[in-house]
A and B are shown apart, each in its own frame.
Chain A
């Protein structure tokens, strides 16, 4: 066979690449397309409310279906504060568990702990919500809130009657729901830190904890931040469990004991009973706002992170 013939045969064997590349390109294009389609559908369905309330929708605190006056400020507040509270609790807790799992745990104990962490992530949110109503809420009302009030009651954050139902409980339950994400992802990125990095610190006379702090955490930084983003996204969008314990009152109160409301919760609660077209449009507009808030928070967080922290640069070979 001639050389040219062999080359030609080789190229015809490779024609399988074309359709495969095309297929992958279509798959990759599907993601932005779906996002675009959701956005367009939301805007279209919300347009009566957008025309009526405009940008004022974001900064108005009235939510009055009877008078058909709608504004989502308290819902935005409730969504952001409950998620922030959740991260405040879940990040240290989740990182602690992850460090334990990645650095300290004896081999035989790793599997059971990992199993329970994954189990926590697998519990349906409505079940967590039930647990919240029957166990967490009474405990917060009779134990946690009175304790916070008696010790830190001078702060507006911990003032007012201990109701059990409210922002604090929502934050706690969200924390329980996002901890598994932080643990699972952070453990993996920490375990992926090369042994040479740990040994570099140990050889300098670092203790176990110093090694974690100087060699492991900085190296795993970008992955841990990714884990926190994932947790944040979950917390912002979580509906069921939050609805069941937050109290569902659209108000902005300094106290974490007070009931509040979130955007996902109001959509879930009121969509079936929304009778007028404007009411439905307002709820969809609220959904659009959640979309915007989520994207904005993520973008902001990313921007912040890229300013202060970069991942490990590639080590040159």
Chain B
């Protein structure tokens, strides 16, 4: 494993969701979620399909509202600031809260290097030396540097699926986010690549707050410090991962983790 590069991370913050509701048109997808995500920890969000776990993630960085007819209410505090404040700019919110998606989505016309540099270019960084440095740091932090350092100018899509996902993580890290959201980042990957992403999430949590959505309970158990269980748009139970899996307080949590449904 690469050594981490603390220089990349400015600072990190926790997240506090307060009574977050979300709708798709008339569908009430989240019904009052209140949840505190501690900083420099991996927090997993689990639950069956359609429980609202991805929607919750997308409410944190204001991606949910991009879907036509979608609405959000409530507050999401990033540190002390409410990202849904009147004065908050969703573009700036998303610069501070990075995101990795279910399927790797590198920009297919860009090289590996340019994919990682994309966010910096958007942010207006013109200093080539600085960009080069950050690209290398980001790729190292995403445990991809050794595999790609000799072919940085090859297309990002020439990589394997697992490498592409790590490229997307590097791309997200390059803009020094304070929080990294991961939406089922390994669901399209083979077991070996999945393991690497999990190791990476653990490693990154030394520097940055991570929220990971997963449908895979073993993954949540392996990777996270805290776990929240969602069902039908509600947060049923939330606590230290170990407690939630070994002595769930709610009957529905127990049913889910023991495989009785979901």
The 4 lowest CB-CB distance pairs between A and B, nearest first, are A205-B95, A312-B108, A203-B99, A204-B119
| Cα(A240)–Cα(B98), bound, Å | 56
Residue from A200, A202, A204, A218 in contact with B109 in the complex, judged by beta carbons closer than 8 Å: A218
Tell me whether A276 is interfacial, beta carbon within 8 Å: no
Contacts of A200 in B (CB 8 A): 101, 105-107, 168, 171
Tell me whether B110 is interfacial, beta carbon within 8 Å: yes
Q: Is the CB of B107 within 8 A of A215?
A: yes
Known contacts A205-B119, A214-B118; 9 additional CB pairs below 8 A are A197-B107, A200-B168, A201-B118, A205-B95, A205-B175, A210-B122, A214-B122, A315-B104, A316-B157
| Cα(A219)–Cα(B99), bound, Å | 20
Q: Is the CB of A204 within 8 A of B105?
A: no
Q: Is the CB of B119 within 8 A of A315?
A: no
20 contacts between A and B (CB under 8 A): A199-B66, A199-B101, A203-B101, A204-B122, A204-B172, A205-B122, A205-B175, A206-B91, A206-B122, A214-B121, A218-B108, A219-B107, A219-B108, A312-B108, A312-B109, A313-B158, A314-B108, A315-B108, A315-B157, A316-B157
User: Residues 180-198 of chain A: 1 if any B CB is under 8 Å from the residue's CB, otherwise 0?
Assistant: 0000000000000010110
Which residue on chain A has the smallest CB distance to residue B159?
A: A316
| Cα(A315)–Cα(B161), bound, Å | 9
Which residue on chain A has the smallest CB distance to residue B174?
A: A204
Contacts of A210 in B (CB 8 A): 122
A202-B94, A204-B122, A205-B123 as given contacts; A317 in contact with B109, CB under 8 Å? no
**Distance (whole angstroms) from the CB of A205 to the closest CB of chain B:** 3
Contacts of A310 in B (CB 8 A): 109
Contacts of A202 in B (CB 8 A): 63, 66, 94
Interface size of B by CB at 8 A reads 36
Contacts of B98 in A (CB 8 A): 203-204
A107-B68, A202-B66 as given contacts; A316 in contact with B164, CB under 8 Å? yes
Contacts of B158 in A (CB 8 A): 313
Tell me whether A149 is interfacial, beta carbon within 8 Å: no
Which residue on chain B has the smallest CB distance to residue A314?
A: B157
**Distance (whole angstroms) from the CB of B50 to the closest CB of chain A:** 18
| Cα(A215)–Cα(B106), bound, Å | 10
| Cα(A219)–Cα(B43), bound, Å | 34
Which residue on chain B has the smallest CB distance to residue A309?
A: B109
| Cα(A180)–Cα(B117), bound, Å | 36
Contacts of B109 in A (CB 8 A): 218-219, 221, 309-313
A196-B103, A214-B118, A313-B158 as given contacts; A204 in contact with B108, CB under 8 Å? no
User: Residues 81-108 of chain B: 1 if any A CB is under 8 Å from the residue's CB, otherwise 0?
Assistant: 0000000000110110011010111111
Tell me whether A207 is interfacial, beta carbon within 8 Å: yes
User: Residues 121-137 of chain B: 1 if any A CB is under 8 Å from the residue's CB, otherwise 0?
Assistant: 11100000000000000
Which residue on chain B has the smallest CB distance to residue A312?
A: B108
User: Residues 148-162 of chain A: 1 if any B CB is under 8 Å from the residue's CB, otherwise 0?
Assistant: 000000000000000
Contacts of A196 in B (CB 8 A): 101, 103, 105
Tell me whether B216 is interfacial, beta carbon within 8 Å: no
Tell me whether B61 is interfacial, beta carbon within 8 Å: yes
Tell me whether B242 is interfacial, beta carbon within 8 Å: no
**Distance (whole angstroms) from the CB of B134 to the closest CB of chain A:** 13
Tell me whether B49 is interfacial, beta carbon within 8 Å: no
Which residue on chain A has the smallest CB distance to residue B69?
A: A107
Tell me whether B206 is interfacial, beta carbon within 8 Å: no
In the complex, chain A residues 268-317 whose Cβ is within 8 Å of any chain B Cβ: 309-317
Which residue on chain B has the smallest CB distance to residue A210?
A: B122
Q: Is the CB of A199 within 8 A of B63?
A: yes
Contacts of A221 in B (CB 8 A): 109
Q: Is the CB of A203 within 8 A of B107?
A: no
| Cα(A107)–Cα(B67), bound, Å | 13
**Distance (whole angstroms) from the CB of B24 to the closest CB of chain A:** 14
**Distance (whole angstroms) from the CB of B163 to the closest CB of chain A:** 9
**Distance (whole angstroms) from the CB of B187 to the closest CB of chain A:** 12
Residue from B94, B106, B107, B110 in contact with A205 in the complex, judged by beta carbons closer than 8 Å: B94
Contacts of A201 in B (CB 8 A): 107, 118, 122
Q: Is the CB of A315 within 8 A of B171?
A: no
Contacts of A315 in B (CB 8 A): 104-106, 108, 157, 164
Contacts of A317 in B (CB 8 A): 161, 188
Tell me whether B32 is interfacial, beta carbon within 8 Å: no
**Distance (whole angstroms) from the CB of B156 to the closest CB of chain A:** 9
Contacts of B161 in A (CB 8 A): 316-317
Tell me whether B160 is interfacial, beta carbon within 8 Å: yes
Contacts of A312 in B (CB 8 A): 108-109, 157
Q: Is the CB of B164 within 8 A of A204?
A: no
Residue from A204, A214, A316 in contact with B175 in the complex, judged by beta carbons closer than 8 Å: A204
| Cα(A315)–Cα(B159), bound, Å | 9
Tell me whether B48 is interfacial, beta carbon within 8 Å: no
Q: Is the CB of A204 within 8 A of B63?
A: no
Q: Is the CB of B107 within 8 A of A214?
A: yes
**Distance (whole angstroms) from the CB of B215 to the closest CB of chain A:** 18
| Cα(A204)–Cα(B66), bound, Å | 14
Tell me whether B14 is interfacial, beta carbon within 8 Å: no
| Cα(A215)–Cα(B123), bound, Å | 15
Which residue on chain A has the smallest CB distance to residue B157?
A: A313
**Distance (whole angstroms) from the CB of B225 to the closest CB of chain A:** 24
